[in-house]
């Protein structure tokens, strides 16, 4: 089981669906998304200064970066960056109550 303080309730469900998950430091994960080597980077509890440059990097590469509420903001206390193709699906799964599998 995954237990992360402040994490989205659907995180365990998302991790079970993922082919592979890996933890990276702030900037590295966003760089992988920007270059197409990773599909998404999800982060809980970052500060705005942790996200300003990585969000710009991902967006300039054609991806999407938001907080977990789906707002294009570096002040939401959470972050999800993706290639853009599955961003809405990831948000949907992460928002689903624990134990419920959100279907896109």
Instruction: List the CATH number of the domain containing 80.
Output: 3.40.190.80
pLDDT of 13-67, one tens digit each? 766 766 566 666 678 889 999 999 989 998 888 899 999 999 999 999 999 999 9
φ, ψ of residue 42 to 5 degrees: the values are -125, 135
The verdict on residue 76 lying in a domain is yes
Classify residue 81 by its DSSP letter: E
- Higher model confidence: residue 103 or residue 2? 103
**pTM: predicted TM-score of the whole model, two decimal places:** 0.73
What's the pLDDT at 21? 60
Q: Check if the beta carbon of residue 74 is closer than 8 Å to that of residue 51.
A: yes
The verdict on residue 74 lying in a domain is yes
**What does the alpha-carbon distance between residue 12 and residue 16 come to, in Å, rounded to a whole number?**
6
Q: In what order do the strands lie in the sheet with 40-44?
A: 40-44, 78-82, 64-66
Q: How many domains are contained in the chain? A: 1
Question: What are 68's two structure tokens?
Answer: 């977990």
């Amino acid at each position: 089981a995954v237990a992360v303080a402040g994490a989205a309730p659907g995180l365990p469900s998302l991790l079970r669906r993922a082919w592979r998950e890996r933890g990276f430091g702030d900037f590295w994960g966003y760089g992988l998304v920007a270059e197409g080597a990773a599909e998404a980077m999800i982060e809980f509890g970052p500060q705005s200064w942790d996200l300003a440059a990585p969000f710009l990097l991902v967006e300039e590469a054609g991806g999407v970066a938001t907080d977990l509420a789906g707002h294009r903001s570096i002040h939401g206390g959470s972050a999800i960056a993706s290639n853009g193709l599955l961003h809405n699906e990831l948000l949907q799964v992460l928002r689903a109550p624990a134990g419920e599998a959100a279907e896109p």
